[in-house]
Amino acid sequence: MKAIARILCALGVSTVSLSLGCDKVSWPSRNHIASLRVLGVRAEPPTLAPGKSTRLSVSCADGIHGGSSDPSCDVEVAWFAGCDNPEKNDPKKCFERYATLPDQLEPVVADTEVDRLPKGFGFGREFEFVAPDNVLSNAAKAGVNVVHFGSSYVFFAVCAGQLVTLKGLKDRLPVGCRDRHSQQLLDQSRFVVGVTTIYSYDLITSRNPELLSPEFDSVAIPESCIEAADCPANFDCSTAGECLPVVEVCSKTHQRGCKVHCLDFALAKSSFGIFGPDGSQLPTPEKSLWLDYFTNAGGLPDDPTFALLTPKDATTTERSDCIAWVPPPEATQNAHLWVVVRDNRGGLTVRDQRILVR
């Protein structure tokens, strides 16, 4: 197993690639959500063996109506698979193979019957991907040990409208996003395209990061509630059975004069681990984890990206740094703070923390 660990270090396996369609869009801030945004694609499990499957799901938010509105996204999602170990490991080499898909789909993608969807194409918020039997086309040796590996790229198109097919395209995905009422094509503020990477191995597995014991302003957030009495002070019980933090609006002229609130959590040692075929955790290498956070209301006074430190030993957990957030100047029931934790083996976990501003 130590030899396998050395191979993984040598491979330098890259992180999940998420290429968002942002051309010609004036974003107010990378971490302030004021339009449709894909926060990530989660694969469960994040790594595969040949012939095994994983469930892909899109995590997105839509801040088009501002911080006073529910940021849930009403979207259509198309998936494009069949891009395994492309030339020079470049997923853009796969666009040409998708060019004929419009001939097999209805002009409005949603009108295509499920049993007529082409192989490797999916429609919906979730998609089951199966690693090809021959995906392990690469190998590396270390003494008598050999690790076989491969990379599969799955493209996605997320539309806050109606997905339609576009013919004659060989350098991009052959779909567009149309307004359901005006029928006009929408720009990238309502239409996000990207690609996520699925890694396959024969001798190792990985798991998605697990966020534990969340706290808001140093107060533990209960898992659920039935009524307000089940929640700590300065929390309220939502109709969905969640204890939500309650904070005051920021009435200051400048954000730096506002009270800063903190969200933090713990990560178990296993979140950083790589595992052998028998489920045992390898001593090295450990995964790199990093965190991004986003909001649709209020401000983020700190740098919203930082690395997460490995716990000191297998029996401990490490808490993240303070994820700092400042309330907006107006009351809202729909302020959200999204925490996105990624690792360099394709793992991803998103926490959506709703906050009541009064």
DSSP one-letter string for 234-263: TEEE-TTS-EEEEE-----SSGGGSPPEEE
What confidence tens digit (pLDDT) does each residue in 184-207 have? 999 999 999 999 999 999 988 999
Average pLDDT of the residues of the chain: 88
Question: Going by DSSP bridges, is the β-strand pair 323-325/145-159 parallel, antiparallel, or unpaired?
Answer: unpaired
> 176, 201, 226 — which closes off a domain?
201
Amino acid residing at 322: C
321 and 257 belong to one structural domain: yes
Look at residue 187 and tell me if it is in a domain.
yes
pTM of the model: 0.88
301 and 167 belong to one structural domain: no
130 and 104 belong to one structural domain: yes
Q: Report the number of distinct structural domains present in the chain.
A: 2
186 and 221 belong to one structural domain: no
Which pLDDT does position 313 carry in this prediction? 65
Q: What range defines the domain where residue 71 resides?
A: 2-201
Look at residue 297 and tell me if it is in a domain.
yes
- Judge whether residue 13 has pLDDT over 60: no
232 and 339 belong to one structural domain: yes
215 and 100 belong to one structural domain: no
What confidence tens digit (pLDDT) does each residue in 26-50 have? 444 689 999 999 999 999 999 999 9
Rounded Cα gap, residues 22 and 187, in angstroms: 9
> 145, 171, 201 — which closes off a domain?
201
98 and 237 belong to one structural domain: no
What confidence tens digit (pLDDT) does each residue in 148-177 have? 899 999 999 999 999 999 999 999 999 999
Encoding tokens for residue 192? 């996000």
What is the average per-residue pLDDT within 71-75? 97
Q: Do 259 and 216 touch, CB atoms closer than 8 A?
A: no
CA-to-CA dists, residue 280 to 53, 178, 275, angstroms? 21, 49, 5
> 178, 201, 224 — which closes off a domain?
201
Rounded Cα gap, residues 187 and 25, in angstroms: 8
CA-to-CA dists, residue 231 to 59, 225, 332, 338, 356, angstroms? 27, 7, 20, 21, 14
194 and 241 belong to one structural domain: no
For residue 131, give the nearest of 199, 31, 39, 219 by alpha carbon.
199
Rounded Cα gap, residues 246 and 219, in angstroms: 12
171 and 274 belong to one structural domain: no
146 and 226 belong to one structural domain: no
Tracing tokens 């392990």 back to the chain, one arrives at: 136
Which pLDDT does position 287 carry in this prediction? 86
231 and 175 belong to one structural domain: no
| CATH code: domain of residue 43 | 2.60.40.10
Look at residue 206 and tell me if it is in a domain.
no
352 and 321 belong to one structural domain: yes
For the chain, the farthest-separated pair of C-alpha atoms sits apart, in whole angstroms, at 66
Percent of the chain residues past pLDDT 90, beyond the cut: 72
Helix (H) or strand (E) holding 44: strand 36-44
- Judge whether residue 17 has pLDDT over 60: no
Look at residue 62 and tell me if it is in a domain.
yes
- Judge whether residue 289 has pLDDT over 60: yes
Which pLDDT does position 312 carry in this prediction? 67
